[in-house]
Amino acid sequence: MPATIFRKGLDLKHDVANDLARDYHSQLVEKIKESDYCWKSGRLNIYLAEDFGFCYGVDRAVDYAYQTRRRFPKQNVFLTGEIIHNPHVNSRMREAGVRFLSDKHETLNNLTPEDVVILPAFGVTTHELSQLEQVGCIIVDTTCGSVLNVWKAVRQYSVDRYTAIIHGKYHHEETRATASKALDSSNGRYLVILDKREASLVCDFILEKTSPEQFLSTFSTACSPDFNPKTDLRQVGLANQTTMLMSESLEIGDMIRQAMITRYGEKNLPKHFRAFETICSATQDRQDAVTRLLHKRDFSLAVVVGGYNSSNTRNLARICSERVKTFHIADASCLISTTEIRHHQLATAMPAHSTPAQSEMTTHDWLPAIDTLNVAITSGASTPDNIVGKVVERLSELATLD
């Protein structure tokens, strides 16, 4: 039997609304928003960015997952992997009886047509979707619309014989899914680059400064099968993992564009270079909002709340760290005491693909003992408001103790 696919919810939005409010909303955060995003307690002044937390795509994905569990109470319900990059939300999924196919003891091979599989907001690869469709199981697709826009772009690149250069993290679920869409056409090719350093290596090859062997020694695991840089880097189209840092994506695009102009001449640029802006609006809104906030006043420190494996949260921390001492924490439990905090290492100080456990560190004497403590707070697009609310409460407690 062909798979049954739900892509617009399951008509149970109102039925799960109270459950979502109970699990993820915060009355304190609502009060702070109503008070011009400012909250004061003794010497502590909290300032929230005007855009933070759950974006539309994340909210929709979690909503659909709750609807799925309600619609199919007696059937096996699976997620292909984390629905979003937030440990608390994924824990709630497990508590509701949702199983994760990414767990070691689970396997897609054991699925039956009666089973229900939720696709996460990041989407899944073409191969994974094909496997699920062959099983004939029930599929609930929560893939974010911004991600679908990226897929549309890279598919068009492949049809037109342009290699998709994707600014992203090769092991990230979204980037793997996007790369697979570049291969939907037999002409498709892709290359994933992480940062400006890797972009400069691509530019060096375009400008004939390095050999194919040198190039492939760096990118052998981040490009399509049988990738030939001599032919596959003649025509390229730019795309992004939707949660990357906008400013860096633009710089990378400019670097490759200029290399193509130098190599082939400006009048021939359209034959060799295309660019399609694929940073999602919610990611950009959160980056812009925290930038505006940090320009408004001097802050004692900034706290960024969200999962350590959340790309958009990490990038918010990068933005903040350029202006003020910044701590990226998972939740309120990281605020151990006035003298001790657990937090994620900034991206510049750690391997790009390290695991959450490897990336956490402890800092001492982190909370300044000053009369007025101004703290900027934001959170990633996968962080629910109740986690932010608990962080504000814990900060208030610690500021009183100090």
User: How many CB atoms sit inside 10 A of residue 387's CB?
Assistant: 24
Q: Which residues pair with 139 in a beta bridge?
A: 5, 117
Using DSSP, state whether 40 is helix, strand or coil. strand
Amino acid at 66: Y
Q: Taking a C-beta distance cutoff of 8 angstroms, is the pair 363, 347 a contact?
A: no
- The tokens for 126 are 């073409």
Q: What's the gap between Cα 336 and its chain centre?
A: 27
Q: 206 Cβ partners below 8 Å, 6+ apart?
A: 233, 256, 259, 260, 263
If you count DSSP H runs as helices and E runs as strands, how many of each does the chain have, helices first?
16, 16
The rounded distance, in Å, linking the Cα atoms of 303 and 150 is 31
CA dihedral 391, 393, 396, 402 (to 10 degrees): -70
Q: Taking a C-beta distance cutoff of 8 angstroms, is the pair 379, 33 a contact?
A: no
Among 174, 266, 322, 393, the one annotated catalytic: 174
Using DSSP, state whether 18 is helix, strand or coil. helix
Q: Taking a C-beta distance cutoff of 8 angstroms, is the pair 140, 10 a contact?
A: yes
Look up 174 and say whether it is catalytic.
Answer: yes
Active centre residues (catalytic): 174
